[in-house]
Structure 1
Amino acid sequence: MLTPYQRISICKTLINTYKSYEKEKIRGVKKQNPRTKNLRPNLSQHTSS
């Protein structure tokens, strides 16, 4: 059996890993956004020509 202190520490580590995972997801989305913005003008250029 785990002691209450061990349970708290495990919960804290899980929360921290989840928070870092969420930050990485947000970073990934931010990285992808400029790419999609760059693609849109290119697509419009292809359709116009």
Structure 2
Amino acid sequence: MTQEHERSKVAVQCTVCSAIYTAWTANEDSFRLIGTDECQCGEDEFQLLS
């Protein structure tokens, strides 16, 4: 049986200031930062680091 809400821990980068954070993701388009709600610069858009 598979879980409906599988998630992975990933590294993401802010699209404005390039700060790097760890985040949870269930897909590659949506991230939830761990320990904070937004970047130190105030941005909330991130890209997955490969």
TM-score by length of 2: 0.21
Task: Name the structure, 1 or 2, with higher relative contact order (CA <8 Å, separation 6+).
Answer: 2
More helix by share: 1
TM-score by length of 1: 0.21
More strand by share: 2
**Bigger Rg, structure 1 or 2:** 1
